[in-house]
Structure 1
Amino acid sequence: MTRHARNCTAGAVYTYNEKKRDAAESGYGTNAQRLGKDSVKSFDCCSLTLQPCRRPVVTKDGFLFDKEAILQYIVTKKNEYSRRLKEYERLRRAEEEQLSQEASSKQQARMERFVNAEKPAMTPAHSSAVGERPSTSAAATSSSSSATPSTSSTSSSSISNMTNGHEKKLPSFWLPSECPNAGAAKAQKPDATIYCPVSQQPLRVKDLIDVKFTLLKDGDFKRSLIAKEARYMCPITHDVLSNAVPCAVLRPTGDVVTMECVERLIRKDMIHPLTDRKLKDKDIIPLQRGGTGYATTNDNLQAKEKRPMLQV
């Protein structure tokens, strides 16, 4: 393969670098970018505010939230449910009124048909009483019917969409009000369940577990806690906690320990090392952490941008 100059365009080979450059300039093809450290949530940050938690709580699925933020989220969802419930009741009452009106109109139509069916039985007596008038009216009726056969046949045989009273309506079938399914909204009862904003699993206030982080004893009291990169440690092994260290929350006390401590020490006897309390499998909650520079921790992190393909 021959070597190209920087601005050489006469080569027969379309190199990978040229393809990536053209794709970036033209807006075609797959767009991939490595996430930096600032784009990844820290393990001790709230999943809603993305800030370090002041009063951390964790769900049974291991997602960390600030207690104030998650309670405000739950209150907002409850208010939204109340609003949707009122709207559902309003639509349901409107549907009931419409059904009652349709039932009354059908009943009225049946009564009118019954009354009209009884009228021809009274016509002979009436015609015998008035003498020659029925024949005259019948002749007039027959003459009028014979005079307008073309009009009725024309209206019945027409295929135009402007007949049968539609001439005053705009033939704008692309408008939402002219669609076949246009009409009043259907009443659908809202779901009262509140779901976790991250895992989309049912969320209840009583399922939130208070988390207790153990401060790292580094002797540096000049900097604030937020300014430090290493803030917490495992209370048992004193290992520094970070996104690169898998962690777990012990449900009875809320202590955050490393998964290495769980596998090597806790799971052998299933006893809490700090309180000597018997533990169960559900008492060990793996803490969901942010990503790192390694692909194994970013298996759930995906971002897609659909763009046209660049055909060569």
Structure 2
Amino acid sequence: MTRHGKNCTAGAVYTYHEKKKDTASSGYGTQSVRLGKDAIKDFDCCCLSLQPCQDPVVTPDGYLYEKQAILEFLLHRKTEIAKKMKAYEKQKQAQKSSRQLESTSEQRQQVERFKTSENTIVSKPINPFTSGRSRLGPLTGTSQLNVADSQLFPSGQKDGETSKSQSGSEPATSSSQSLPSFWIPSLTPEAKPTLLKKPSKAVLCPMSGRPIRMNELIAVRFTPLDPSLDRVALLNRQERYVCAVTRDVLGNSVPCAVLRPSGSVVTQECMEKLIRKDMVDPVTGDKLTDRDIIPLQRGGTGFSGSGVDLRAKEARPVMQA
């Protein structure tokens, strides 16, 4: 189709090209694009550096790493975890000291409240031998009670009123309910620091997200296509490695597996048709188990999934009628 035919808008049919063009310009609908070869990592490249491995190691999940790169990653993550743990312990110690200070201040407040309540019970000491009889003469029972009440409660408060004021059940004043002034530094609200969670001591694999250890890494030994070539000439070739048994060329389109005892890389076809019958490593002669056969993950980078036929999709808002 010519350029004039693609840009023609006088047709009676809404073509697929026009639909994609309108979708891209409108901002609605799901856009998809097929990733090219440059967006897919080669099977023999490190998942961190994305470069061909010189000293490759593989995890039990089948992800290939350069030994130096993965060891630097593990060391960096352990250093970060140690820093986070130190900050968490510091926060824990600060919380403990603050709780001790709060308990001490609360005890002091209780003592002060007790002293205040005890001091307000009787304002003046009463001598039971020299009561108001000497000044007022003989009193009746009712007048004696009134005098005793006046001596116990000089401010005119009764027993119930005193207990009510001590219990703090009186309604608060309007000044205590007023909001703080945001323009006065002493009355502005204070934000509490963010509490840190206890960090996990396990280092996670950057690809699978599962815990990874240094002693779980398995050395991988690729079989070069031409042993006479040096490394620079080998990396410049499109086809670099072959199966250790069948000598088939390895690539992203060929599923591979790593044998744990020898670290050799063989194709999945060779694994299913030859090795699984006897379950013996053809290089070292050791007995194999299902755990010793590690499928090698193909393709995929930090920006895309694994596989060789990838499509990137972006879900955007959909227009509703």
TM-score interval, smaller chain: 0.7 to 0.9
Question: What is the CA–CA distance in structure 2 between the aligned matches of 1:178 and 1:50, rounded to whole Å?
Answer: 50
SS in 1 for 2:266: strand
SS in 2 for 1:285: strand
CA contact (8 A) 1:54 1:66 kept: yes
Deviations 1:77-118 (A, max 9, x none): 011011101110111111011111111111111111211221
The corresponding residue for 1:168 is 181
The corresponding residue for 2:276 is 267
Question: What is the CA–CA distance in structure 2 between the aligned matches of 1:115 and 1:186, rounded to whole Å?
Answer: 38
Larger Rg: 2
SS in 2 for 1:190: coil
Matched, 1:201 2:210: yes
- What value does the CA root-mean-square deviation take over the aligned residues? 3.6
Question: What is the CA–CA distance in structure 2 between the aligned matches of 1:89 and 1:217, rounded to whole Å?
Answer: 56
Question: What is the CA–CA distance in structure 2 between the aligned matches of 1:45 and 1:5, rounded to whole Å?
Answer: 41
Matched, 1:103 2:99: no
Deviations 1:206-252 (A, max 9, x none): 00000000000287679712111100001210000001111000001
Letter in 2 for 1:79: T
CA contact (8 A) 2:33 2:313 kept: no
Question: What is the CA–CA distance in structure 2 between the aligned matches of 1:236 and 1:22, rounded to whole Å?
Answer: 53
Structure 1 pair 27–187 and aligned structure 2 pair: CA distance change class (3 A)? closer
Letter in 1 for 2:217: L
Question: What is the CA–CA distance in structure 2 between the aligned matches of 1:217 and 1:5, rounded to whole Å?
Answer: 49
Matched, 1:283 2:284: no
CA contact (8 A) 2:35 2:312 kept: no
Unaligned stretches of 5+ residues in structure 1: 142-154, 172-176
Matched, 1:8 2:9: yes
The corresponding residue for 2:147 is none
The corresponding residue for 1:212 is 221
The corresponding residue for 1:19 is 19
The corresponding residue for 1:226 is 235
Q: How many residues are matched? A: 280
SS in 2 for 1:237: coil
SS in 2 for 1:96: helix
CA contact (8 A) 2:253 2:308 kept: no
Structure 1 pair 272–8 and aligned structure 2 pair: CA distance change class (3 A)? closer
Q: CA deviation at 1:296?
A: 10
Matched, 1:239 2:248: yes
Question: What is the CA–CA distance in structure 1 between the aligned matches of 2:189 and 2:313, rounded to whole Å?
Answer: 37
For 1:245-256, list aligned pairs within 5 A.
Answer: 245-256=254-265
Structure 1 pair 83–44 and aligned structure 2 pair: CA distance change class (3 A)? same
Question: What is the CA–CA distance in structure 1 between the aligned matches of 2:280 and 2:298, rounded to whole Å?
Answer: 25
Q: TM-score, normalised by structure 1?
A: 0.77
Question: What is the CA–CA distance in structure 1 between the aligned matches of 2:57 and 2:50, rounded to whole Å?
Answer: 14
Deviations 1:180-230 (A, max 9, x none): xx4122242211000100000110000000000000028767971211110
SS in 2 for 1:240: coil
Higher relative CO (Cα under 8 Å, sequence separation at least 6) belongs to: 2
Question: What is the CA–CA distance in structure 2 between the aligned matches of 1:38 and 1:297, rounded to whole Å?
Answer: 13
Question: What is the CA–CA distance in structure 2 between the aligned matches of 1:98 and 1:114, rounded to whole Å?
Answer: 24
Matched, 1:309 2:318: yes
Structure 1 pair 73–96 and aligned structure 2 pair: CA distance change class (3 A)? same
Letter in 2 for 1:8: T
Q: CA deviation at 1:282?
A: 0.8
Question: What is the CA–CA distance in structure 2 between the aligned matches of 1:76 and 1:311, rounded to whole Å?
Answer: 49
Letter in 1 for 2:48: L
Q: TM-score, normalised by structure 2?
A: 0.75
Question: What is the CA–CA distance in structure 2 between the aligned matches of 1:279 and 1:228, rounded to whole Å?
Answer: 33
Deviations 1:153-180 (A, max 9, x none): xx9586xxx9646342259xxxxx969x
Unaligned stretches of 5+ residues in structure 2: 136-150, 158-170
| Identical-pair percentage | 43
Decide which moves more: 91-100 or 27-36.
27-36
Question: What is the CA–CA distance in structure 1 between the aligned matches of 2:181 and 2:126, rounded to whole Å?
Answer: 42
Counterpart selection for 2:200 from 178, 185, 191:
191
SS in 2 for 1:32: strand
Structure 1 pair 187–103 and aligned structure 2 pair: CA distance change class (3 A)? farther
Question: What is the CA–CA distance in structure 1 between the aligned matches of 2:125 and 2:77, rounded to whole Å?
Answer: 74
